[in-house]
Amino acid sequence: MSGYRTEECVIVGGGLAGASAACVLGREGRSALLLERDLQLRHKTCGEFLSVEAQAYLAHLGIDLEGLGASQISRLRLYHREGQADAELPFLARGLSRKVLDEALLQKAVAYGARVVRGATVRSIAADEAGIRIDAEPFGKIQTETLFLASGKHDVRGVKRPASESINDLVGFKMHYRLSEHQRAALDGAIEVVLFDEGYAGLQLIEGGIANLCLVVSRNRFEHVGKSWTGLTEHIVRGSPLLAGRLRDALALFDKPLSIFQIPYGFVHQPEAIEAQGLFRLGDQMGVIPSFTGEGMSIALHSGCLAASMFLRHSCTGGDFHRKMASDIRRQVRLAFLLNKAARYGPGQSALFQICRTWPSLMRQVAAFTRLREGSMQSALALP
């Protein structure tokens, strides 16, 4: 086709899903072209809690979390106006900023042979029997048979995700803080989750002793507190003396918090959807699990590794991959979606809090059902 350059496979988006696919393809000698919108990777709205599954994928891809300075998290403290529940996590979690992590993975993809173009925004994609055509600015027009679509929650014209029954009236925020020495030491080793009206917040350390406060709140509650970050944090700390103490002498490290609107929690791409055979949807384009599970990044990494290895192993179609992914994550996303719904308002929150406080082992078991299964991971970690 005139005016188009031809590529064997293209990846749109250089987050964890896109970069992990590029690493696997590169390691097997396939030089994928990865297009990333941002010239320099920036901070992303994320709790930055790395589950054991995410750590396994990162180790498999050659990422040294210790060397990047990731914090260690072994305890969960859950706060509610009725009290506090404390539990040992069933694994050692890590905390690392997305800016550091995403950059490390993208550099790894380059080292494995991927061609990464930064500052290239894909404006539209046409995918039909004639193949896949991509219009990227300022890069130009590309024709390919295989596209790994890893643009996160951002939809691209021509291949938008269909509307689903997800909850999408939620707003997410993230702010980094330098805590006082005393508060930093008190937080060290734990993730502290605060339940408040129509939302929840998580506080944990990441690299360099920095604290990440990440929260999710309904749009309704956000409007109620004056649609401002100050109004929102004042509202939360009023009901949580612990968080108030943590933040009292803290220094905010961004001018304003990062935010994300209309998070489609509960979305899972329908494998029955009729789409071009060479289109593989990765990461948040495939499914969005509520953040409290701390499993979104591992699903993104799982999808990138699985898609690349299925493509290499059997020349599978996008449809085959979507069916496998849906069966790997549907149950987890569904359960987390229902828990998220239940914990949204006062009575549901109280009930969940009491269950967690009375039966921490039950809490661990339910949490285990929201995680990727070992069997699913083995097929993605296996070399093609």
Query: Given the rule CB under 6 A, which residues bind ligand FAD?
Result: 12-18, 35-38, 44-49, 54, 121-122, 150-152, 154, 156, 172, 214, 216, 260, 263, 283-284, 291, 294-298, 300
E strand map for the chain? 4-12, 33-36, 49-50, 71-80, 83-95, 115-118, 121-128, 131-137, 140-149, 170-178, 190-196, 199-205, 211-218, 251-252, 258-261, 279-281
Nearer to ligand FAD, 131 or 283 (CB): 283
Nearer to ligand FAD, 17 or 343 (CB): 17
Nearer to ligand FAD, 131 or 287 (CB): 287
How many angstroms separate the CA atoms of 84 and 305, rounded? Answer: 38
We find the least distance from the C-beta atom of residue 87 to ligand FAD, in angstroms, to be: 17
How many angstroms separate the CA atoms of 309 and 362, rounded? Answer: 35
We find the least distance from the C-beta atom of residue 292 to ligand FAD, in angstroms, to be: 8
CB-count exposure of residue 256 (10 Å: 0-12, 13-18, 19+): exposed
Nearer to ligand FAD, 192 or 284 (CB): 284
We find the least distance from the C-beta atom of residue 41 to ligand FAD, in angstroms, to be: 7
Nearer to ligand FAD, 218 or 350 (CB): 218
We find the least distance from the C-beta atom of residue 182 to ligand FAD, in angstroms, to be: 25
How many angstroms separate the CA atoms of 42 and 291, rounded? Answer: 20
We find the least distance from the C-beta atom of residue 287 to ligand FAD, in angstroms, to be: 9
Count other Cβ atoms within 10 Å, centred on residue 280. Answer: 33
Residues 6+ apart with CB under 8 A from 64: none
Nearer to ligand FAD, 59 or 351 (CB): 59
We find the least distance from the C-beta atom of residue 282 to ligand FAD, in angstroms, to be: 6
Residues 6+ apart with CB under 8 A from 248: 180, 183
Q: Which two tokens stand for residue 267?
A: 């979305």
DSSP codes of every residue in 335-376: HHHHHHHHTSSHHHHHHHHHHHHH-HHHHHHHHHHTSPPHHH
Crossing angle, helix 52-60 and helix 374-381, to 10 degrees?
Answer: 10
H helix or E strand, kind and range, residue 312: helix 296-314
We find the least distance from the C-beta atom of residue 295 to ligand FAD, in angstroms, to be: 6
Nearer to ligand FAD, 41 or 315 (CB): 41
We find the least distance from the C-beta atom of residue 322 to ligand FAD, in angstroms, to be: 15
Nearer to ligand FAD, 131 or 199 (CB): 199
How many angstroms separate the CA atoms of 210 and 280, rounded? Answer: 36
We find the least distance from the C-beta atom of residue 211 to ligand FAD, in angstroms, to be: 13
Nearer to ligand FAD, 259 or 358 (CB): 259
Closest CA to 52 of 381, 303, 374, 384: 374
